[in-house]
């Protein structure tokens, strides 16, 4: 069931979104060759401690009875698409790294993701990163009251594919509120006239995952990390938003 949030609830989500945005900005500034992915997780945990926010990914239950997720952030490098586990991996010049982070504050969630180049990277990877972020913004533009959700999905897919990249099918965006994952599921591909009609007060986490090569992915033996089947890089951007009659508001804007 899709819930419509009150203005008071949305104000709480603005606070969560602000903490997510501020933390991701700190993480982006910290990304450089030679640091470990675990250090990014430690930074996020420290921000949660300072701001009394619950890191919602920490110990998040596995969907199929595997081990809970061990980190506060998902850190996915190069061919890793989403759900990368932070650890002792060292970031190298030329890598790209996606960081997904979410918190709950006063009972309401915020969720966002960014992809960042590590030092100097191949121009095709810059194009992949920029295309993924722009596809997210194109999707958000279509999150208008009265539009069907498919307008969001179609805008993302068309922009990504017109730039020569592919859209991951197996993982999608979601509603967000008192839980990190609520209805509706938000595919990053599809037809305009599909899905539920968007209404003012709906809160959504829109998150395109765009691959340089094929859209096909699989999960590694750690049961969390999703990687591209062809081994080519992937990028990921996400914002939490609210739909208003006058247009969308980005709750995690940096």
pLDDT tens, per residue, the chain with 254 residues: 999 999 999 999 999 999 999 999 999 999 999 999 999 999 999 999 999 999 999 999 998 878 999 999 999 999 999 999 999 999 999 999 999 999 999 999 999 999 999 999 999 999 999 999 999 999 999 999 999 999 999 999 999 999 999 999 999 999 999 999 999 999 999 999 999 999 999 999 999 999 999 999 999 999 999 999 999 999 999 999 999 999 999 999 99
Predicted confidence (pLDDT) per residue in 114-163, tens digit: 999 999 999 999 999 999 999 999 999 999 999 999 999 999 999 999 99
Beta bridge partners of 76: 98
Into which CATH architecture does domain 7-250 fall? Alpha-Beta Complex (3.90)
Query: Residue 110 to residues 22, 128, 196: CA-CA distances in angstroms?
Result: 12, 25, 22
- Predicted pLDDT of residue 65: 75
CB contact at 8 A, 223 and 67: yes
In 87-126, which positions are buried (b, 16+ CB within 10 angstroms) versus exposed (e)? eebebeeebbbbbbbbbbbeebbbbbbbbbbbeebeeebe
Q: Hey, where are the domains in the chain?
A: 7-250
Angle among Cα 240, 241, 246 to the nearest 5 degrees reads 170
Strand stretches in 151-213, DSSP E: 166-167, 173-175, 182-186, 203-206, 209-211
- Predicted pLDDT of residue 137: 99
Q: What is the DSSP letter of 52?
A: T
d(CA 122, CA 84): 22
- Predicted pLDDT of residue 90: 99
- Predicted pLDDT of residue 64: 83
Q: What is the DSSP letter of 202?
A: -
- Predicted pLDDT of residue 17: 99
């Amino acid at each position: 069931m899709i819930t419509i949030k009150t203005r008071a609830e949305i104000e709480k989500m603005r606070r969560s979104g602000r903490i997510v945005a501020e933390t991701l900005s700190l993480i982006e500034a910290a990304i450089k060759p030679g640091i470990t992915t675990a250090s990014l997780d430690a930074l996020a945990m420290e921000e949660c401690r300072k701001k009394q926010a619950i890191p919602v990914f920490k110990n998040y239950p596995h969907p199929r009875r595997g081990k809970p997720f061990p980190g506060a952030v998902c850190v996915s490098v190069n061919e890793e698409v989403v759900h990368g586990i932070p650890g002792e991996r060292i970031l190298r010049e030329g890598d790209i790294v996606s960081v997904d982070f979410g918190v709950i504050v006063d009972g309401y969630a915020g969720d966002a993701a960014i992809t960042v180049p590590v030092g100097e990277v191949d121009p095709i990877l810059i194009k992949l990163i920029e295309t993924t972020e722009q596809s997210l913004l194109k999707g958000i533009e279509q999150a208008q009251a009265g539009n069907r959700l498919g307008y969001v999905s179609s805008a993302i897919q068309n922009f990504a594919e017109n730039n020569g990249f592919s859209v991951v099918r197996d993982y999608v965006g979601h509603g967000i509120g008192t839980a990190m994952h609520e209805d509706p599921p938000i595919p990053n591909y599809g037809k305009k006239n599909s899905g539920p009609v968007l209404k003012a007060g709906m809160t959504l986490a829109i998150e395109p995952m765009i691959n340089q090569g094929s859209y096909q992915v699989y999960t590694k033996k750690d049961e969390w990390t999703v990687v591209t089947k062809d081994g080519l890089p992937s990028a990921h951007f996400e914002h939490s938003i609210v739909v208003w009659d006058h247009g969308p508001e980005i709750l995690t804007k940096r």
